Amino acid sequence: MEFSPPVYRIRSKAYNSRRNFGPEVGRKRGESNFLRAFERAYFTQVGGGIAANEFAQPQLGVADLVWIAWNHQHGDEEFTALSIEKILQRRTLIAFEAKLKNWQQALQQAYRYRYFSDKAIVLMPHENANSAISNLAIFEEHRVGLWSFEKSTQRIRKYYTPTRVKALSPAARQKAIAQISAQVDLSKLGK
C-alpha cells in the first residue's frame, strides 16, 4: 500500500463573494466543483501540503486556492509556531485562480496574487482553455502560469509555469505566511 502524505486544510476568513450576486448566482457551484476536482487530482500528484481556499489578502484579492507543499520526513520532530513559520518561509507558496471561461479576468486576478505568492497560476477547464493558450505570451510576459484541468480524465496540463520567481512584495509574502502558520494545527503536523 502506497503512503500518501496528508493535506492540511486551514480555514480562510474570506467573504464568500458569490453572495454579492443574489440567490441565483450564489447557488451556482460550477467553478467551486471544478476547483475541488482539480484539488483532488493535484494533491494526489504532489503529495502532502497545506491548503487554504478563498485565501484573502487585503488589496491583493482572494485566491481560490493557496498551496504550500509539505514533505515532512521526521515523525518525531516537535513543532512550534515559530518553527512552522520558519519552515513555511522556505517553501514555495502557490496561488491559484480558477475560472471556467474568462481568462483575461483570471490573469488580472492572478497577477495581483504575485505580490504575496511565489507563483500565481490560472486554472481553466481544458475544453475552455484554447483562447488562453493562444495568448500564452501574455501569461509569460506577466509571469503568471496557465494550466488546464480535464475533470473526466483527472489530467492536469501545464502550458506555462513560471520558474525562478518570488513574490513581488516580500512584506506581503511574510504576512501571508504568518496568516497561514497561525492557523496550522500543530498537533496534526506531528502525526
pLDDT digits (tens, 9 = 90+) for 73-111: 544 455 555 566 677 777 889 999 999 999 999 999 999
**CB-based contact 110:121 (threshold 8 Å):** yes
Query: How are beta strands 49-57 and 155-160 bridged, if at all?
Result: unpaired
For residues 24 and 31, what is the distance between their CA atoms, to the nearest angstrom?
14
What does residue 41 show for φ and ψ, rounded to 5 degrees? -70, -45
Mean model confidence pLDDT for the chain: 83
The pTM of this model reads 0.82
How far are the Cα atoms of 48, 76, 105, 136, 186 from residue 167, in angstroms, in the given order? 22, 32, 20, 21, 26
Radius of gyration of the chain (CA): 17
Question: Average pLDDT, stretch 180-185?
Answer: 78
Closest CA to 97 of 73, 117, 121, 116: 121
